[in-house]
Amino acid sequence: MDTSIIDKLKEIVDTNLISFHMPGHKLGKVYDKLGYSDILKNIYKMDTTEIDGTDNLHSPDGIIKKSQERASKVFKSKHTYYLVNGSTCGIQGAIMASCLPKDKIIVNRDCHQSVINSCILGDIEPVYIRPKINIQTNIIEGIERQDVIDTIDNNLDAKAILVTYPTYYGKTYDLKKICDYAHEKNMVVIVDEAHGSHLGLSDKLPKTALEQGADIVIQSTHKTLPSFTQSSMIHIQGNRVDIDKIGQILRIIESSSPSYVLMSSLDLAVDIYESKGELLMNELLLNIDIFTNDMKDNEFIDVFNEDDKTKIFISTKKMGITGYELEKILRQKYNVQVELANYYGVLLICTIGNEIEDFNIIKKALNDISKNFHSEKTIETIQYPMSIPLKVLSPREAFYKPKKRVKIYESIGKICGEYVIPYPPGISLLSPGEIITKEIIDYILLCNEKGMNVSGIKDSSLQFIEIVVD
Ligand SMILES: Cc1ncc(COP(=O)(O)O)c(C=O)c1O
């Protein structure tokens, strides 16, 4: 057999990797623990298409309808659609169902790229809200209510507002007040809850976006609950949104052969959520409390997990190593994989698929590493450029304009033709259609020198950047 993908994945499974990353089922361990192995052993035989009895995702009236209705009841929505192309397609559906071409939508600047890509598809004009950034960790902390109110007041013609809640790092904010204010101004509230499908499982976690009044909520079930990668849900409530219009757009953008394997995994995630979710979440939160309390004894490591306690950021600053270095050591020496590394630390995503043993292993690893690898190196805080660059073309106009590559310093004052997204904190510093500034170029070159990742830009060596040809 010559199967490079399968060979590598099998090797990873055989090493019994400890997963603090997505997907939420943690390499299938939660299914084994809960007794679903027999069903899943035969999942390949359930890969089918629309035949008698299997219903149709795009006009459901049988088993898919029943399963979606159960999800709607469990997640407390008016209607729920299953998604087989991740939250990405849910965001596309939500935005294009709420805005017509040339309409404005208010979005947090640290939104996922699928938001801006939806604006390209739908010819919609994004207006940005500046996010708050913690200057010690460069973690994105969400948005300030006053900034949202000001942006709404300055753009009363916007049809909708889309916010990310919680952030990738588990930070939340008072979403209810934002929903109430946006509704007063007749705007639809779309919440990208890609990282929060588990929030309803405990009152020790932040309230869900639906509970706080959002009209449309998109969740990556696969990220924080046990379903397969790419399987997500979109929930709708209230009367501000045309449910059928969302369905119509999903029919355009999703495959006409939706995967029954993915839909089955959503069916299973709903079953686990309803029957055992609260119990498993209580156990998880207890394990997390023990872990974070124990880590307080380690003078070299700071652990942050405010708001959504299941997202744990481990700061490596006091150890004198970067998050990138810690990620590598954890994987190579301790067989532990984190969700992401940035210059200042690593992020763990913990789900109901994690066991106490996982926390014991990472605790021991971190204690060993802080003893054996700490250095005198200073991990200094690099000042992040807070100003949002001037937008002179809409994302769609910029997308369709001809582009050329120029040397990076020759691009200053020109219109950017691509995304530039440094990690941390993972916010697009430049998007297509915006004027490139010296402050931003200086910052990304410094990031590069310090070993930070800059994604989006095609030339990863950062010598060249694509600009729009006027
Ligand atoms: C905040 C946010 N929204 C949306 C998405 C897209 O989700 P999916 O991967 O399910 O398409 C992501 C993916 O990482 C994300 O981080």
Cα of 195 vs centre of ligand 1, distance in Å, is 8
**To which residue do tokens 């596309």 refer?**
92
pLDDT for res 425: 66
Residue 141's pLDDT band, with cuts at 50, 70 and 90, is confident
Pairing of strands 216-219, 125-129: unpaired
Which band of pLDDT confidence, cut at 50, 70 and 90, is reported for residue 247? very high
pLDDT tens digits for 13-43?
999 999 999 999 999 999 999 999 999 999 9
Nearest CA to ligand 1 atom 9: 86
State mean pLDDT over 424-446: 88
Asked whether the predicted pLDDT for residue 198 surpasses 80, the reply is: yes
pLDDT at 351 over 80: yes
Ligand 1 atom with the smallest distance to the CA of 220 is 10
How far is the centre of ligand 1, averaged over its atoms, from the C-alpha of 87 (Å)?
6
- Going by their DSSP bridges, the two strands 104-108 and 125-129 should be labelled as parallel
Count CB neighbours of 259 within 10 A: 18
Inter-residue long-range contacts of 283-290, CB under 8 Å, 24+ positions, other chains counted: 283/352, 284/310, 284/350, 284/351, 284/352, 284/354, 285/202, 285/204, 285/205, 285/309, 285/310, 287/350, 287/354, 287/355, 287/356, 287/359, 288/312, 288/350, 288/359, 290/356, 290/359
The preferred substitution site among 91, 95, 112 for testing ligand 1, maximizing ligand atoms within 8 Å of CB, is 112
With the most atoms of ligand 1 within 8 angstroms of its CB, the residue from 109, 114, 163 to mutate is: 114
CA of 210 to the centre of ligand 1 (A): 18
Q: What is the DSSP string of 273-342?
A: HHHHHHHHHHHHHHHHHHHHHHHTT-TT-EEE--SSTTEEEEE-GGGT--HHHHHHHHHHHH-EEESEEE
Q: Is the pLDDT confidence value at 325 over 80?
A: yes
According to the model, what pLDDT value does residue 388 have?
87
Counting beta carbons within 10 angstroms of the beta carbon of residue 279, is it exposed (0 to 12), middle (13 to 18) or buried (19 or more)? Answer: exposed
Q: Which two structure tokens, joined as six digits, stand for 366?
A: 């971190």
The pLDDT tens digits for 373-413 are 888 888 877 778 878 899 999 999 999 999 999 999 999 99
Ligand 1 centroid, distance to 45 Cα (angstroms) = 29
Most ligand 1 atoms within 8 A of CB, residue of 84, 87, 250 to mutate: 87
Residue 105, class by beta-carbon neighbours within 10 Å (0-12 exposed, 13-18 middle, 19+ buried)?
A: buried
Helix axes 63-75, 260-295, angle to 10 degrees: 20
Count of residues making up the chain: 470
Structural contact between residues 163 and 134, judged by C-beta atoms closer than 8 angstroms: no
Burial of 11 (0-12, 13-18, 19+ CB in 10 A): exposed
| Cα(398)–Cα(467) distance, integer angstroms | 9
Position 303 pLDDT exceeds 90: yes
Atom of ligand 1 nearest to the CA of 164: 1
Q: Where do the H-state alpha helices sit in 110-206? A: 113-122, 145-154, 175-184
Q: Is 426's pLDDT higher than 80? A: no
- Going by pLDDT thresholds of 50, 70 and 90, the confidence category of residue 263 is very high
In ligand 1, the atom with minimum distance to the C-alpha of 83 is 10
Most confident of 133-137, 290-294, 340-344: 290-294
Is pLDDT above 90 for 240?
Answer: yes
Please give the single-letter amino acid code of residue 242: D
Looking at residue 208, the DSSP 8-state letter turns out to be P
Residue 135 has pLDDT above 80, yes or no: no
Is the link from the previous residue into 424 a cis peptide, with omega within 30 of 0?
Answer: yes
> What CA–CA distance (Å, rounded) separates 418 from 434?
9
Q: How far is the CA of 354 from the centre of ligand 1 (A)?
A: 21
Helix (H, G, I), strand (E, B) or coil at 403: strand
Assigned token pair, 89: 């397609």
Query: Tokens 């993908």 map to which residue?
Result: 5
Mutate to test the pocket of ligand 1, among 220, 227, 232, 423 (most ligand atoms within 8 A of CB): 220
- Binned at pLDDT 50, 70 and 90, residue 453 comes out as confident
Percent of the chain residues topping a pLDDT of 90 = 87
The pLDDT > 70 percentage for the chain reads 99
Query: Residues lining ligand 1, judged by CB closer than 6 Å?
Result: 86-88, 112, 114, 164, 168, 192, 194-195, 220, 232
Given a contact cutoff of 8 angstroms between Cβ atoms, the answer to whether 107 and 91 are in contact is no
Return mean pLDDT, the chain.
Answer: 95
Domains, in order of start, for the chain = 4-19+279-372 (3.90.1150.150), 34-273 (3.40.640.10), 395-468 (3.90.105.10)
Residue 57 has pLDDT above 70, yes or no: yes
pLDDT of residue 424: 62
Q: 299 C-alpha vs ligand 1 centroid, how far in Å?
A: 34
- To 10 degrees, the CA torsion angle through 326, 329, 330, 335? 160
Q: Is the pLDDT of residue 180 over 90?
A: yes
Q: For residue 166, say if its preceding peptide bond is cis, omega within 30 degrees of 0.
A: yes
CA distance 227 to 272: 10
pLDDT recorded at residue 213:
98
Backbone angles phi, psi at 365, to 5 degrees: -60, -45
- Per-residue pLDDT tens digits for 94-129: 999 999 999 999 999 989 989 999 999 999 999 999
pLDDT score for 383: 77
Structure tokens at 244: 């059928």
